Amino acid sequence: MSEGIRLQKVLAGAGLGSRRHCEEMIADGLVEVNGRTITEQGVRVDPLSDVIRVDGARIPPPRRHVYLVFHKPRGVVCTMEDPQGRTTITDYLGRRTKEGLFHVGRLDTPTEGLLLITNDGDFGQRMAHPSQEVSKTYVAEIEGVIENVTLRKLSRGITLEDGPVRPDQVKLIQRGGTRSIVQVALHEGRNRIVRRMFDAVGHPVRRLTRTAIGPVRIGRLKVGELRELTSEELGALMDLAGL
């Protein structure tokens, strides 16, 4: 372990309680540094490079970068600037436009929902790379009443023009009248993959919303609003990204 800051001070600085409470967590064997359980007091760590966990949950390092969740509205172009003058993500950043932010991955212009925004290049590159296989959840309003046999077909996987796709989950939310609502979770990042899946089974998407990326949920975040990632969310994403 590198010379640095006392572990209990790092934990307290991360908002886990008073210094005394953090010392108790260490004594109880709840704290792990670089895969080793720490029970002695006064151990020094480097919070920027050491991987620290409390009761299994990753404690992210002090933030040198910005990590945001954005609820992208329908019709907003998923780019930071647009030569055609269309509304982009930058139009929602306010004073943060000077922080060197960029979006992680993409959402189609007609698609709304959760988008990660950061100025951490390593984090953005890792999160966007297909090898990380971070699950993404969507809610699709589709045309027609989808049958159970079609839902099972999607769950088993189908083949599109650019190869097979097998969702992690296909869950019926509602059906009736002229529409159905289906939740889909998948690791795929191919262009328009959810829309093309439903096109392939004869149920074109009317409206599509991404509701989650890994452990990050859109929750009550309103359309067009931003919020900071919580420490728990950032720690979990760093684990997923292999950081």
* Amino acid (1-letter code) at residue 157: G
CA 41 to chain centre: 35
Contact in structure between 8 and 52 (CB atoms under 8 Å)? no
- For residues 212 and 234, give the distance between their C-alpha atoms in angstroms, rounded to a whole number: 14
Q: Is 120 a catalytic residue?
A: no
From 46, 91, 108, 168, active-site residue: 108
Catalytic residue annotation: 108
